[in-house]
Amino acid sequence: MTASADHALLLLADLGEASARAHTEATLVPAVSAALSRHLPLRRLDLRRGAAAPGAPEVRRGAGGETMAVFALRDAEGAVGCATMALGDGAALDVSPALLEAIGRLLAVALRQVQVLGRVAAIARRAQGEKRTLKEELDRVALPREVVAVGPAMRAIFQQMVPLVARQDTTVLVRGETGTGKEVIARRIHALSRRAERPFLAVNCGALPEGLVESALFGHERGAFTGAAARHLGLFERASGGTLLLDEVGELPRAAQAKLLRVLQEGEIERVGGEGAVRVSVRVIAATHRPLEAMVASGAFRDDLYYRLQVFPIIVPPLRERPEDLEPLTRVIVEKVAATFGRTPPRVSAESMARLRAHGWPGNVRELENVIERSMVMSTGDELILSAPLSAAPGATGRVTTYREAAQRCIEEALRAAGGKIYGEDGAAAALGLKPTTLQSKMRKLGIRKGGEKG
């Protein structure tokens, strides 16, 4: 008995439909097995990609009375593999070589199709993965909303230099006037570095009392000096694995400079009163607004340390040299201050912006923050009324909030103007209207050294 033409057509139609629905090899075999079972006493179906098949379909009796039909999976493009069907009793009579060949063609097409679909799915998965990685990378390097870098100089710093240097452990020297955003840059480098999960610590070297500089940075052992009641870990050890910002690095006394050089070169510190070296892994970012070259020339700053720090300098331009940043900075700061006041951000009129543009900003972004904060306190409506004058005092950085800071700044400026000289008619004491000894005592209390060296 031969399968009727109708029966064969129905079988092939069912098989074609079932295979078209399968998208993976794993779902193809059960789907086509189910379709075949509706027309034949199918016990097992085995599809083997790449396996050699007989030239013409073979039908033979297998062990246990089964009928085994072995035929090639071949389509217009060539051979794909081999199929074996185990059929129940008497089926042999129902499967003609022509029907087996037709089944073999349909299955070959189906196998090629799931193979292509598999490849497409893999490509899509990879593309998805790449898109995610790319997006993660973009998110990672994208600036947080509150950091403004619109002008070309700041864009180059935040989009090119910072991501580049963040990947390595290089020492970075950030130079720029006070309040330009040196610490913002240092934090960004840390955030994009492999140390991001470890601490970021910042210290203003100029604010450390001279006698305590080394202990603050490198720590001390118990009993290292009077008052050292217990072992104290310095900033280098506390920043372990992370980043340490040494702000106003030019203010470090020479002895501390030598120790800093050792950390940078050998990755080792020695606690004050300690006997051995302690290994530390800390990325150092130094910052300064001082002309380090002049300090090297005068001997106040070690030249070897200077060259070690200069490996990757980042120069931050003052706010007056990046007018493109002023308006977005104003907007961001107005929003930030409004949020802390729990208010809706007021509007900044064109006239106010013009006034802000005309200002010189000696205290840079910090001064702008201060001006906006002060103006916000005074303007209660929905428009920002700028304080007049803009800054509390010409040249003020806008950050001076305590007597200590004001006094420090005042003395530092007088010392700078007098070239570090305290005594004499052209000395800082005379300029401040103080007795030299009074000035010296104030300097000691405030931790100020003359001209950044030992005072």
Ligand X SMILES: Nc1ncnc2c1ncn2[C@@H]1O[C@H](COP(=O)(O)OP(=O)(O)OP(=O)(O)O)[C@@H](O)[C@H]1O
Binding residues for ligand X (CB under 6 A): 146-149, 176, 178-184, 247, 287, 289, 329, 332, 365-366, 369
- Nearer to ligand X by C-beta: 66 or 325? 325
Q: How far apart are the first and last CA of the chain?
A: 116
Nearest distance in Å: CB 373, ligand X: 10
Can you spell out the DSSP letters for 26-40?
HHHHHHHHHHHHTTS
Nearest distance in Å: CB 311, ligand X: 20
- Nearer to ligand X by C-beta: 181 or 219? 181
Residue 134: what residue type?
L
- Nearer to ligand X by C-beta: 409 or 450? 409
Cα-only R_g, the chain:
39
Nearest distance in Å: CB 181, ligand X: 3
Q: How far apart (Å, rounded) are the C-alpha atoms in residues 438 and 420? A: 16
- Nearer to ligand X by C-beta: 19 or 408? 408
- Nearer to ligand X by C-beta: 54 or 313? 313
Q: How far apart (Å, rounded) are the C-alpha atoms in residues 101 and 83? A: 11
Nearest distance in Å: CB 328, ligand X: 8
- Contact between residue 237 and residue 231 where contact means Cβ atoms under 8 Å apart: no
The residue of the chain with the least Cβ separation from ligand X equals 181
Can you spell out the DSSP letters for 416-447?
HHTTT--SSTTSHHHHHT--HHHHHHHHHHHT
Structure-token pair, residue 428:
């800082």
Helices 350-358/323-341 angle, 10° precision: 120
- Nearer to ligand X by C-beta: 372 or 422? 372
Pairing type for strands 67-75 and 58-61 reads antiparallel
The dihedrals phi and psi of 297, each to the nearest 5 degrees, come to: -60, -35
Nearest distance in Å: CB 402, ligand X: 15
Nearest distance in Å: CB 336, ligand X: 8
Nearest distance in Å: CB 210, ligand X: 19
- Nearer to ligand X by C-beta: 289 or 302? 289
Nearest distance in Å: CB 366, ligand X: 4
Helices 5-21/97-141 angle, 10° precision: 10
Nearest distance in Å: CB 341, ligand X: 16
- Nearer to ligand X by C-beta: 329 or 411? 329
Residue 168: what residue type?
Q
208 by DSSP, 3-state: which? coil
Task: Give Cα separations from 159 to 204, 304, 307, 325, 430 (angstroms).
Answer: 26, 30, 25, 15, 48
Return the C-alpha torsion angle 116, 121, 127, 132, nearest 10: -170
Nearest distance in Å: CB 186, ligand X: 8
- Contact between residue 199 and residue 193 where contact means Cβ atoms under 8 Å apart: no
Residue 145's contacts (CB-CB under 8 Å, 6 or more residues apart) are: 332
The dihedral through the CA atoms of 417, 422, 424, 429 has a sign that is: positive
- Nearer to ligand X by C-beta: 149 or 172? 149
- Nearer to ligand X by C-beta: 181 or 362? 181
How far, rounded to the nearest angstrom, does the alpha carbon of residue 167 sit from its chain's CA centroid?
Answer: 9
- Nearer to ligand X by C-beta: 237 or 324? 324
The dihedral through the CA atoms of 307, 300, 186, 371 has a sign that is: negative
Nearest distance in Å: CB 187, ligand X: 8
Structure-token pair, residue 348:
């900044």
- Nearer to ligand X by C-beta: 109 or 166? 166
Q: How far apart (Å, rounded) are the C-alpha atoms in residues 405 and 363? A: 14
389 by DSSP, 3-state: which? coil
Nearest distance in Å: CB 134, ligand X: 25
